[in-house]
Amino acid sequence: MNIIDYLIFGIYMLCVLGVGFYHFFKNKSSEDYYVGSRSIKATHVGFSIVATDVGGGFSIGLGGVGFAMGLSGSWLLFTGLIGAWLTAVFIIPKIKKLDEKEGYLTYPDFLRYKYSDKVALAAALISGIGYLGFTGAQMLAGAKLASTTILQKNPFEMDPILFSLLVIAVITVVYTVFGGLKAVIYTDTIQWMILLSGLIFITIPATLFEIGGLSALRETLPKEYFTLTNIEASTFINWMVTIIPIWLIGMTLYQRMYACKDEKQARKAWFTAGLLEYPVMAFTGVFLGMCARVIYPEADSEAALPMLIRDVLPIGVTGIVIASYFSAIMSTADSCMMASSGNFVNDLLERHIIGKKSHKTSVRLSMAATFVIGTLAVILAAQFSTVLNAILYAYSFMVSGLFVPTLGAYFWKKSSSAGALAGMLAGGVPTLLMLTNILKLPAPIAKYGLDPSAYGIFLSAVFFIAFSVAIPEKNTPEGGQTAK
């Protein structure tokens, strides 16, 4: 990278931090900090959803699957199109009607209304821990990008990825601690316009010129890289089972539903997000990963795309695209920190330990929690070597425990608090044990290669239905659900 690129990168990051500090002085209440005063338009929210869901983590991971399997890697983000549109059609009309009456701040607020405080607390713990892991995955993505571009060397002679991880963490945590959701959403729009434009209109043409055009790409890569069937059935199923349900339980997504001023704006935002994920970002990411394989065939699959951006783009443009990539990573990491912070402060501390505080104290407490969560995320990120695996582990844990009880809250009148708690424990605990290799599946079952979340969801459904039927709610308001 040229000195001009470093200068552009530095200015860009300072501007992003400036937005965070600007909103620090604008945030007057928890609603300002967590749901953007419930007044944000669909365009901003739509871009923010993509920035949060895809982010730098999935972007780096997407380049990695393009490097490894070609166009078939685009199925990874087909899950986003399905998840976003299903949410727009079936979930948003229900949740926005409730939000207008109840003024929700978090995802567990909805479960508290539908079930009980105990269910909301369990959901907050699962969601908070899951998003802590997801934050770590984004920081690892930032470290991989930095260690191959702007921070290849450091004065402390530390491992480049570890040093980069610490630098990314400081920038992201400071920005998020001070800015809150408005800072996150408004910067997401600009960041993703720059990133998509830079990748589609500059990076792809420059890369094709570098490798000798599409013909050279076809001659170099295997034929199966240009099909949509170069993927194992188990991998396809795992992506669908692990990622689509996150759209129903994602705290970051609920915050953005609440941030929209009405149902119409929310549905528009989700439809927009789905199309931006697939086909736009899906094929852009995997195609660049394929090009990166031509230039760096021996590179780490997730490091090849950052290396391509570093070496192929013109001076000045490199700094802008890398800065926007970092911003995409920050967009996801900051949203996940906000989500985890909201779970622990609003749903755990203020409701069960210290009691409700003044708006000013609550915001300061949220900032402190966000700082602690960011610090823990760095420690967790250091334990992983692959970004995509870190993301899918976090998703698996959350989906296994939360998907079935949440689905029941929306669509099954006989669902009960006892069933929800049983489903969360029966799904989440075994999945966590399987992910950490404490519990191993028998060989006849393991041979199918399914993700632990598939078994977790099945167990969750069995226990949720059984306990809901055996222990129904006693005093239910209209709609068949539990009282608030």
Burial 252-279 (b: 16+ CB within 10 A, else e): bbbbbbbbbbebebbbbbbbbbbbbbbe
Asked whether the predicted pLDDT for residue 478 surpasses 50, the reply is no
d(CA 321, CA 205): 14
d(CA 337, CA 341): 6
CA distances from 327 to 11, 229, 303 (A): 13, 33, 18
- Name the residue with tokens 């009405």: 262
Find out whether 83 and 246 touch, Cβ atoms under 8 Å.
yes
Non-local CB neighbours of 300 within 8 Å, separated by 6+ positions: none
Tell which wins on pLDDT, 347 or 483: 347
The conformation of residue 40, written as its DSSP 8-state character, comes to B
Per-residue pLDDT reduced to its tens digit, 2-59: 889 889 888 887 887 777 677 666 666 666 666 767 878 899 899 888 877 776 556 7
Ramachandran class of 301: left when φ > 0, alpha when ψ lies in -120 to 50, beta otherwise: alpha
- What tokens were used for 338? 């906000």
Find out whether 274 and 116 touch, Cβ atoms under 8 Å.
no
pLDDT value, residue 343: 85
Give domain limits for the chain.
Answer: 3-389
Per-residue pLDDT reduced to its tens digit, 295-315: 999 998 988 988 998 899 888
Please give the backbone phi and psi of residue 425, each rounded to the nearest 5 degrees, phi first: -70, -45
Find out whether 401 and 377 touch, Cβ atoms under 8 Å.
no
Which amino acid would we find at residue 3? I
For the ranges 35-39, 151-155, 194-198, 279-283, the one whose mean pLDDT is highest: 279-283
Indicate the fold that domain 3-389 takes in CATH. Answer: Sodium/glucose cotransporter (1.20.1730)
Query: Is there a cis peptide before residue 442, judged by omega within 30 degrees of 0?
Result: no
Cα Rg for the chain, rounded, in angstroms?
Answer: 22
Tell which wins on pLDDT, 251 or 81: 81
Find the DSSP H helices in 313-451: 317-342, 359-381, 387-411, 417-435, 443-446
Angle at which helix 452-470 crosses helix 233-243, to 10 degrees, equals 50
Q: Which residues pair with 40 in a beta bridge?
A: 260
pLDDT value, residue 479: 40
Find out whether 124 and 347 touch, Cβ atoms under 8 Å.
yes
Asked whether the predicted pLDDT for residue 420 surpasses 50, the reply is yes
* Secondary structure element (H or E) that encloses residue 235, with its range: helix 233-243
Report the chain's mean pLDDT, rounded to a whole number.
87
Q: What is the DSSP string of 447-469?
A: TT---HHHHHHHHHHHHHHHHHH
Asked whether the predicted pLDDT for residue 68 surpasses 90, the reply is yes
Asked whether the predicted pLDDT for residue 285 surpasses 60, the reply is yes
Give me the half-sphere count of Cα atoms (radius 13 Å) on the Cβ side of residue 150: 25
Burial 342-375 (b: 16+ CB within 10 A, else e): bbbbbbbbbbeeeeeeeeeebbebbbebbbebbe
Asked whether the predicted pLDDT for residue 169 surpasses 70, the reply is yes
Find out whether 404 and 427 touch, Cβ atoms under 8 Å.
yes
